[in-house]
Amino acid sequence: MATENLKFSHIFGLTGAVRNNLHFCEEGVVVYPCGSNTVIYRSDTREMELIPASFGTPFTAEAISCLSVSPNKRFIAVAEKSDRGVVSIYDSSTLRRRKVLNYAELESKEIIHICFSQDNKLCLTQGGAPDYSLVLWNVEKAVKVVASVKLAAPNNAAIYKADFCPADPFVICVTGQGVLRFFRILENSFRPATLSIKREPQDYVCQCWLPEDRVVVATENGELMIIENFEFKCVLSSSPSDGKRVGSIIAYSKGFIVGSAGGTLRIYERTDETREFYKLSKTFTIKTNLECTITNLAVSPSEDTLLCSTDDNQVYTFSLSNTDILKEDSMNFELLMAPFHGPGKSGSSQITGIDTCIWKPLVVTCGLDRTVRVWNYLEKSLELMKEFQEEAHSIALHPSGLYVIVGFTDRLRLCSILMGDIRCVKELSIKSCKECRFSNGGQHFAVVNSTTVQVYGTYTCELVATLRGHNGKVRSLYWRAGDRELATVGMDGSMFVWGVSLGTKEKEEIQPRCSFASGRGTADFARGYVVGTDLTIKEYEMQVGNGKTDMVLRSEVVVDAPLGESCLSGSGKILFAGTSTAKKPGVIKAFKIKQQGLEKGADKLPIHAGPVTCMRTSFDGQYLFTGSEDGSLAIFHIKDVEGKGAKGRDRETGGDFAEEILVYKSDLEEKQAQISALHHKVEELSMNNDYQLRLKDMQYQEKSKEVTNKFTAELEADAARYTQLMEEKKEMESEYEEKMSSLERKHTDEFRELEDGYNGKINVEIQRYETLVSEREEQNRKWDEENQALVDSHTEFLQNLTDDYDRKVESEQTQQASLSDDKDKMEVKFESVKELIEEDSELEVQELKGKYEGKLSAERKATLRLQGENGFMRKKYESMFKEVNDQKEEISSLLDKEKELYESIKGLEKDIQGHKKEIREREETIVDKEKRIYDLKKKNQELEKFKFVLDYKIKELKRQIEPRENEISDMRTMIEEMDLELEQYHKSNSALDLMIGELRLKMDGMNREIAAQKKVIETGDEFIGRFRVDLEECAKRIGSGSGKALKDEVARIYKVYARDDVAKGAEGRGAGGNGGGGKKGKKGKGKGGEGGEAVQTQYNRQREHLERSVESLKRKMAKDVELHNSDNGRLTRENVALTREMNELRREKKDLELQESNMEAQYGGGGGLAGGEPGGRPALGGLTPQPPSAVGRRSKQGSRVGGGSQASSSAKAGGRNVVAMLQVEEEVREQENIIRQLQERVESLKGMRGSGMGPEVVG
């Protein structure tokens, strides 16, 4: 935002009257209104960009009324007051206007609320009084009005806000004074929705949509109502309900936040309770001198930061991320930039004075909020702020930047600017001074006292001169270079140049018919410029003639709006002036000054929301500062006409600015005393801490000695216990291996007996299968017969059902024919009635037409007559209007005189009150001083007594110090002895580290051996699993009746699992696994640990590790014993079961042998049977299973090899698993032999059955 002569730099302030005036555009980027512009502020860099509030021509917009930002943060909507409210939509990245929303039927001058839908396609605008038009716009592409409705009520109830439902953009909630309504958008129109609420209408001040189609509505007395799906649910029990007005509500992910009067912020979070949807989580308060109301809230996209704007034009930041952690008292509100000028007691935020200095980059302002503020215009920050008891009307800053004079309502004060305070030095009895100014050198200052000007010495505050001559109030002062002359400009249309030393007029210019608002001149007083209330700017030039210097009017420029304050650029080539029209935006105008005089045209820059009240340029001519009635302070860079104006200042750093500050000697002495006291306190604390550290070192050394002795003894005992356990383990392993070999032999014998028993069971199952096949065929035959009977019965039922429905259809058709006849008769009757009605209506229309035509002709005649009367009345009105204007001018002049008289009366009354107040204060001061003298005398007596007691205590302490010193020397010798003991402990700890390292290596070897044994076990489990699956598949084929498939499957299993190399591989893996464990056990010896720097810590950690290792070894040992006992019990139980089953198989075997002998005797030895063995047992296929004695021996040898001299915790488990795997392999071989024999037996039986000679087998 810039013109040819001015470039915007920064602006301080907030326009609090704008609704919804705070938004986040992105993280760390804030959008808010200031003056007549929308500010885009980046908090991390303190940089600003402006969107000027204007539509069409630059100055048709009166002010900003409302702001909004789209949910995707891409668009900024600005509503502006004008003849008809208008909304401009800007791109947030380029700040260019994209769309304009201008509703032709809007009767209001402003838009009071704007909001976007969640999909960013729709925009809702709520107009103001009188019609309160609610308009829905489609802004996705071309701007288009979707729907509109006027919400004006008969009782002129105000509407505050209208907002979209986040979940459904076609549902809208409207709140206002006694208004709570919901609308649906259907067929491009607003359709009211029925709200179920049984409460008296209230003033619904604000509302906010929440998830799940809920809306929270705040009433004027602080109640928070929850409405869900157009149905009233409840009033939150934790609502403020204290009569304090709720200013704003905003939703966030956990619930919603409420800002209300008193600067109170309440955070509500969702709850699972059925009655209460939300609970009050935390309450925070903005702590300021004056109570404020939070009017607007904004949450950052990350929900880390909350912004609050208040009714006193301040913006605060609040960290939401710490609310769950910190307490309510520890959370603080911080200002976004700096504290701005806010409204005073009168409600106005006007900045009444502004000034700069030479030595420092400072600008000071004062206002009706009773504050004086010091700003740094390079760092764009507030240096200092002081609040006073009275309103300030003018201010001037000393060229050094160390002093300031302020004109208050009661008197004029000269103050010092300190590091953190503004302290009054001298007071002068000048009331309500409207203008004051330091001289260029700073040795004098001039102040306005009504119609006179008084000049004082800065350092003595003595009156130097009193300048009288103005008949009206003096509006402007400015000094000539060298400070010998002073120019004054008054409201009476006079401009004087005074000689300060003599206090006489040297030059004068009087315009009795014009009042001057302000005036400025060049440094050498060669030219002067005054701004008149007659919409002109006059340029005067000093001319010398006849030994006398006169002011001659050189040029005059007419302006289009009233101007107020003015100032010149550093080079004198540009005149700046600000507009002073009430309730209009403040505009800065820059007039170029040429050789011929002022140019008529001016660059215009709208910046403030109200009239410009004060204006100054920096000494180097680079900056322009303007203050306004709305409390905003604007800073501009001046681009001079010829590039001049800089006077040695560095624009970026301000290189040669002074950094000195004023410090009172008493303050400095007080701080030095505090520093020395703190130093003494630190020394005492350090001595105390050193003593405490020495005591703790001694205590810890004693504890270290005790712990070392204790754990050394425990370590020796654990080592002995470990050796004993290893010996016991070896004995148990040898004993277990012997038991396993005996059990394997026993199991092999029992398994051979089981084989014969299963042969007989298979034969029985074959006969049972054949019986079941015959039964299945019989059942199939019966089912076919039953099925045929069901089909016949169903066919008969369908035929009967069809006949019934045919009869029903015939009856329905007959009824339909009768109804159609009745319908034809009714249609004929209807047509006749219709013709009669149409004839009657035509006759009525003709009668009404004739009647209204007569009325129309009469109205036309009356209109012609009224037009003639209107012309006569217009002439009469014009004459009366002229008379009224003359009367108004007389009344205005009388009112001005009356105001002056009232002001003088008020000033005298205030003087009387001030004198009375001063008398009371002095009397109170005298009484307080007398009391103070009496108290000091009493304290002096008490201090003398205390001095005597302290002298006695000092002597006692000196006597006590000597034995303490002797004790300290004894303690030092004791510490040296303990250091020697500590070295011995270090040596013993290093030896222990070596022992622990050896034990750790042994444990590593055991762990590696356990891992190897686990791999062997996994391989065996996988082998057994595959064999089990194949064996189950083979068993399924037994019942299928396909002998060839069973034979092929058994052959395949034999080839896969019954090879010698498989068994040998398993044996080799088992032996290798055990052997590897022994090697790794040996490898664990020979490495030691290294001691670290923290000896005690390392020792404790290693001790704990050894304790855990010993405990784990104990647990493993106990587990091995339990497994061994459980294996013995299981084998015993299996042995009993196998013995029982073997007896049964022997009985079955005898029966089969008898049956077979009978068959041989009957058929003469035929049927495909082979010869038998001695003892009557047939040799099936010539195969006899062999006992796995060799394998058992190999298993035993392998386990012995694997158990070497370096025994480990996993050797016993590894040997047991290897033996179990070899045992399983032997069982597989035996099962293969059994299957082969069963296959041959089945083939022989099939051959006998095929020849018809098979015997019956009784199950």
- Per DSSP, the residues of 383-413 read EEEEE-SS-EEEEEE-TTSSEEEEEESS-EE
Rg for the chain (alpha carbons), in Å?
55
Q: Tell me the residue length of the chain.
A: 1259
Q: Report the amino acid identity of residue 535.
A: L
Cα 948 versus chain centre, distance: 65
Q: Report the amino acid identity of residue 704.
A: S
Residue 352 · residue 614 · CB < 8 Å = yes
The predicted structure's pLDDT at residue 587: 92
Query: What token pair was written down for 559?
Result: 């302006």
The predicted structure's pLDDT at residue 1222: 59
Q: Does the CA dihedral 811-812-818-821 come out positive or negative?
A: negative
| Residues 925-939: tens digit of each pLDDT | 888 888 888 888 888
The predicted structure's pLDDT at residue 435: 94
Residue 760 · residue 1148 · CB < 8 Å = yes
CA-CA distance, 1166 to 1170, in Å (whole number)?
9
The predicted structure's pLDDT at residue 1248: 57
Which residue, among 253, 149, 252, 246, has the nearest Cα to 202 in the 3D structure?
A: 246
- Segment 795-823 shows an average pLDDT of 78
Question: In which band, very low, low, confident or very high, does the pLDDT at 1145 lie, cut at 50, 70 and 90?
Answer: confident
The predicted structure's pLDDT at residue 326: 64
Range with the lowest mean pLDDT among 111-120, 569-578, 1247-1256?
1247-1256
- E strand segments, 261-322: 264-270, 278-285, 294-299, 305-310, 315-319
Residue bearing the bigger pLDDT, 733 or 1071: 733
- E strand segments, 92-178: 97-101, 111-116, 122-127, 133-138, 144-150, 159-164, 171-176
Cα 640 versus chain centre, distance: 46
Collapsing DSSP states into helix, strand and coil, what is residue 47? strand
Query: What token pair was written down for 1155?
Result: 């049956």
Number of Cβ within 10 Å of residue 956's Cβ equals 8
Query: What token pair was written down for 627?
Result: 């203050």
CA-CA distance, 1158 to 1255, in Å (whole number)?
10
- Segment 327-332 shows an average pLDDT of 68
CA-CA distance, 426 to 441, in Å (whole number)?
20
Question: In which band, very low, low, confident or very high, does the pLDDT at 1259 lie, cut at 50, 70 and 90?
Answer: very low
CA angle 275, 277, 282 (to 5 degrees): 120
- Segment 600-616 shows an average pLDDT of 90
Question: In which band, very low, low, confident or very high, does the pLDDT at 165 lie, cut at 50, 70 and 90?
Answer: very high
For 196-209+246-340, CATH number out of 3.30.1300.10, 2.60.120.10, 2.130.10.10, 1.10.3720.10 equals 2.130.10.10
DSSP-derived pairing of the beta strands 371-376 and 381-387: antiparallel
Percent of the chain with pLDDT over 70: 85
Q: Does residue 1193 register a pLDDT over 60?
A: no
Q: Which of 3-12, 250-259, 1001-1010, 1162-1171: highest mean pLDDT?
A: 250-259
Number of Cβ within 10 Å of residue 758's Cβ equals 16
CA-CA distance, 552 to 569, in Å (whole number)?
22
Q: Does residue 1121 register a pLDDT over 60?
A: yes
| Residues 881-895: tens digit of each pLDDT | 788 888 888 888 888
Collapsing DSSP states into helix, strand and coil, what is residue 459? coil
- Segment 352-379 shows an average pLDDT of 94
Q: Does residue 1205 register a pLDDT over 70?
A: no
Residue bearing the bigger pLDDT, 1196 or 893: 893
Question: In which band, very low, low, confident or very high, does the pLDDT at 1095 lie, cut at 50, 70 and 90?
Answer: low
The predicted structure's pLDDT at residue 1042: 66
CA-CA distance, 1229 to 1223, in Å (whole number)?
10
Number of Cβ within 10 Å of residue 1060's Cβ equals 7
Collapsing DSSP states into helix, strand and coil, what is residue 471? coil
- When the pLDDT of each residue in the chain is averaged and rounded to a whole number, the result is 81
The predicted structure's pLDDT at residue 127: 92
Q: Does residue 1258 register a pLDDT over 70?
A: no
196 burial type by CB count under 10 A (0-12 exposed, 13-18 middle, 19+ buried): exposed
How many CA atoms lie less than 13 Å away from 404 in the CB half-sphere? 32
- Segment 362-386 shows an average pLDDT of 94
Q: Does residue 1180 register a pLDDT over 70?
A: no
CA-CA distance, 311 to 1172, in Å (whole number)?
118
Residue bearing the bigger pLDDT, 575 or 976: 575
The predicted structure's pLDDT at residue 33: 94
DSSP-derived pairing of the beta strands 452-457 and 463-467: antiparallel
Q: Does residue 585 register a pLDDT over 80?
A: yes
Q: Report the amino acid identity of residue 284.
A: F
Question: In which band, very low, low, confident or very high, does the pLDDT at 764 lie, cut at 50, 70 and 90?
Answer: confident
The predicted structure's pLDDT at residue 1029: 84
Residue 715 · residue 992 · CB < 8 Å = yes
DSSP bridge pairs for 260:
246, 264
Instruction: Report pTM.
Output: 0.57
Range with the lowest mean pLDDT among 224-233, 399-408, 915-924?
915-924
| Residues 497-515: tens digit of each pLDDT | 999 988 888 888 888 888 9
Residue 497 · residue 484 · CB < 8 Å = no
Query: What token pair was written down for 210?
Result: 């929440």
Q: Does residue 645 register a pLDDT over 60?
A: no
Q: Report the amino acid identity of residue 405.
A: I
Q: Does residue 1112 register a pLDDT over 90?
A: no
Question: In which band, very low, low, confident or very high, does the pLDDT at 852 lie, cut at 50, 70 and 90?
Answer: confident
The predicted structure's pLDDT at residue 188: 87
The predicted structure's pLDDT at residue 548: 62
The predicted structure's pLDDT at residue 1255: 40
Which stretches within 1164-1257 are classed as H helix? 1189-1202, 1211-1250
* Beta carbons within 8 Å of 1096's beta carbon, 6+ residues apart: 704, 707, 989
Which residue, among 77, 563, 533, 32, has the nearest Cα to 308 in the 3D structure?
A: 32
Query: What token pair was written down for 715?
Result: 């370590």
The predicted structure's pLDDT at residue 817: 79
The predicted structure's pLDDT at residue 642: 56
- Segment 1109-1134 shows an average pLDDT of 80
Q: Report the amino acid identity of residue 569.
A: S
* Beta carbons within 8 Å of 427's beta carbon, 6+ residues apart: 411, 412, 413, 414
Question: In which band, very low, low, confident or very high, does the pLDDT at 477 lie, cut at 50, 70 and 90?
Answer: very high
| Residues 1233-1257: tens digit of each pLDDT | 776 776 676 666 656 555 544 444 3
Domain locations in the chain? Answer: 196-209+246-340, 735-774+937-1157+1189-1259
Percent of the chain with pLDDT over 90: 30
What is the end-to-end Cα distance of the chain in Å, rounded? Answer: 111
CA-CA distance, 1116 to 1104, in Å (whole number)?
18
The predicted structure's pLDDT at residue 820: 78
Residue owning tokens 């009388």: 894
Residue bearing the bigger pLDDT, 456 or 1019: 456
Instruction: Determine if the peptide bond prior to 339 is cis (ω within 30°).
Output: no
Residue 37 · residue 607 · CB < 8 Å = yes
Residue bearing the bigger pLDDT, 87 or 639: 87
